[in-house]
């Protein structure tokens, strides 16, 4: 019940394409769903996050879609660029993350070809 | 310049030695966290602390110890009891805003034990 399953493990798209990364969770108590971007040898950076009271959130070229009934959420990257090549992690937490209990997916390595 | 610093960036130790990883933040965040990252894996929580002089075990606390004597500092000791200590260690901090605790990560320390 504590797992967050992320897919695909790796993804290759052409510049300008729209990569989509999916995550599924089991615990219906989760109420905070952030996405992180990590470049090799660096710490993860918070990209965008969503609460279950909305079905979609956009920040720049990044969009989270959230399906509460299916217990799934996904990250879309519009007009992808080679600089977006990184590993992306989804995560989920109860109580807005107040108790340090962020559960991470295993990551998706994205490669955007020029 | 606000942020989270971790030192050193690379650390090498012999098996059987304890080693302490440093984490400092000047963001005035109340909560701090330690994660471990292994290749192809998500981040796994080792310990977290919500206030000074208090901390809780995460999912993989065995073989690790922490202290929180100051708000800005949360050092992690990897003891000789940790069976597979070679990994990338990430420190994070957070503060609650509108019921959400966004976690921000430091640059990480790569520990190699031989």
Q: What is the pLDDT of residue B41?
A: 82
> pLDDT (tens digit, 0 to 9) for every residue of chain A, 114 residues total?
568 999 999 999 999 999 999 999 999 999 999 999 999 999 999 999 999 889 999 999 999 999 999 999 999 999 999 999 999 999 999 877 777 778 999 999 999 999
Pairs of residues, one from chain A and one from chain B, whose beta carbons lie less than 8 Å apart: 68
Report residue B57's pLDDT band, with 50, 70 and 90 as the boundaries: very high
Q: Is the peptide bond before A8 cis (omega within 30 degrees of 0)?
A: yes
Nearest to B102 among A42, A49, A105 (CB): A49
Chain A contact probe: residue of B100, B109, B112 with most A CBs at under 10 A: B100
Residue B49 CB-density burial (10 A; 0-12 exposed, 13-18 middle, 19+ buried):
buried
DSSP-assigned letter for residue B74:
-
Range from B36-40, B53-57, B78-82, B98-102 carrying the lowest mean pLDDT: B98-102
Residue B28: predicted pLDDT:
93
Residue B100's pLDDT is 82
The reported pLDDT for the residue numbered A96 is 76
Q: Would you call A107 an interface residue with chain B, using a CB distance cutoff of 8 Å?
A: yes
Query: Distance of alpha carbon B53 from its chain centroid, rounded?
Result: 16
Look at residue B98 in the predicted model and tell me its pLDDT: 78
């Amino acid at each position: 019940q504590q797992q967050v399953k992320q897919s695909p493990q790796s993804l290759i798209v052409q510049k300008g394409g729209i990569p989509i990364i999916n995550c599924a969770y089991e615990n219906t108590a989760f109420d905070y769903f952030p996405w992180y971007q990590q470049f090799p040898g660096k710490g993860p950076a918070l990209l965008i996050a969503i609460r279950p009271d909305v079905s979609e959130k956009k920040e720049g070229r990044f969009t989270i879609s959230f399906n509460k009934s299916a217990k799934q959420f996904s990250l879309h990257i519009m007009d992808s660029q080679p600089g977006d090549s990184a590993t992306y992690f989804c995560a989920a937490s109860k109580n807005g993350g107040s108790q340090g209990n962020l559960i991470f997916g295993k990551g998706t390595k994205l490669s955007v070809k020029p | 310049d606000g942020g989270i610093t971790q030192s050193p960036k690379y650390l090498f130790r012999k098996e059987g030695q304890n080693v302490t990883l440093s984490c400092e933040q000047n963001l005035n965040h109340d909560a701090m966290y330690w994660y471990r990252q292994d290749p192809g894996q998500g981040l796994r929580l080792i310990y977290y602390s919500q206030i000074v002089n208090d901390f809780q075990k995460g999912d993989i606390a065995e073989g690790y110890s922490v202290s929180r004597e100051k708000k800005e500092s949360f050092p992690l000791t990897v003891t000789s009891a940790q069976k597979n200590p070679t990994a990338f260690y990430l420190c994070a901090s957070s503060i609650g805003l509108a019921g959400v605790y966004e976690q921000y990560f430091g640059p990480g320390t790569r520990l190699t034990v031989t």
